[in-house]
Amino acid sequence: MAPGILAPEPSFTLNEMDKTAKEKHDFGAVIEDLDLNNISGADHYGLKDIDIKKGILHAWHADAPKEEDFLKGHTRFQRWHIDAPLYARDPAWFTTLRCIQRPTAPELTIHWDDGSGLTMKTEPGLTAFFSNVQTYGMMTEDERQIADHSWVEYAPHPYQWMGDCKAQPTGLGLVSEGKEKTLGELGPYDEKNVKRYPMVWVNPVTGERAFMVHGICVRRAFLRSSETEEPRVVDDVAEIREWLKPIQERVLRPDYIMLPKVEEGDVVMWANYQVFHTAVDYPDHWGARTMHQANIGASQGPVGPVPIPSVS
């Protein structure tokens, strides 16, 4: 998908590939002893007659929609994110998602539920995307000047750190309620594995800049407007989120969000260093959603417009 501004039609030719379960395509690894005609069934890797039940995905929102509304097709974006551990290992450059099965009806309505009145329609079982190259392009000159020279530090074991927090109704960012764990509560961690990343990630091929701050996991921000300026260290997560919110929400509009329609056997591949994505939940009784997701952590992490200090 084009990273600059997401468009419904690709800029390249798509050729349908009729791949059967007996064929093997070696893209770096071949999986043996897997019957692709029976991914979901009564016996799944020795687990017999088991249905995995999940909770409502947007239940972690601070003000979740009512269950009766959800059952009528009132849904939300769950959690806008990138596929990244943000501790010890660097994020994958790309993620692939293969659709095994999903329901295609009835239609859902995604609600922002933030007072804006914004909504958009979708089929069930799809993944939503927006471009952070576009986010960068929508920033003011002053904001870009700061973003180009600044960086963030993610919490050790970041998803444990924010595990008790609740989200904004749009699924983008957290509500600041002081529920983050203290470093002492996280248990042992290695300071060398704490990740500091630039706010802006530069595509080494195209030179495009993307505003790539995973706000739900940021513990500290280092703000400056030039390489020579001493950074202002912000360790108040509420202040960090207040600064990020208006920047990141500008692109969160129906016109800028893509929900690529995938059929069984389709593969979606995206630039994990340039886009955010999220699941969109639907009532379980509409049918099972089975996907195969794959990504490999990069050997080199994101690079910004200017160098940033590493964790000492």
What pLDDT does 110 receive?
98
Tell me if 299 is assigned to some domain: no
What pLDDT does 2 receive?
39
The residue with tokens 């990504």 is 295
pLDDT in tens, 195-233: 999 999 999 999 999 999 999 999 999 999 999 999 999
* Chain centroid to CA 161: 18
Tell me if 37 is assigned to some domain: no
Tell me if 29 is assigned to some domain: no
Tell me if 8 is assigned to some domain: no
**10 Å Cβ neighbour count for 11?**
7
Paired tokens of 154: 């993610």
**How many angstroms separate the CA atoms of 200 and 212, rounded?**
6
Tell me if 11 is assigned to some domain: no
What residues contact 61, with CB distance under 8 A and at least 6 apart?
A: 76, 166, 167, 168, 169, 171
Tell me if 30 is assigned to some domain: no
What pLDDT does 43 receive?
72
Tell me if 143 is assigned to some domain: yes
The residue with tokens 């360790």 is 235
Looking up residue 91, the CATH number of its domain turns out to be: 3.60.130
What pLDDT does 46 receive?
73
Per the structure, the complete domain to which residue 61 belongs is given by 44-294
Tell me if 81 is assigned to some domain: yes
The sign of the CA dihedral 116, 119, 124, 129 is negative
What pLDDT does 160 receive?
98
Q: Return the bridge partners of 121, or none.
A: 109
Q: How many domains are contained in the chain?
A: 1
Paired tokens of 257: 């969000």
pLDDT in tens, 234-284: 999 999 999 999 999 999 999 999 999 999 999 999 999 999 999 999 999
Q: Where are the beta strands (DSSP E) in 59-131?
A: 74-75, 94-101, 108-111, 119-122, 127-131
Extract the residue ranges of the chain whose pLDDT is less than 50. Answer: 1-3, 312
What pLDDT does 23 receive?
62
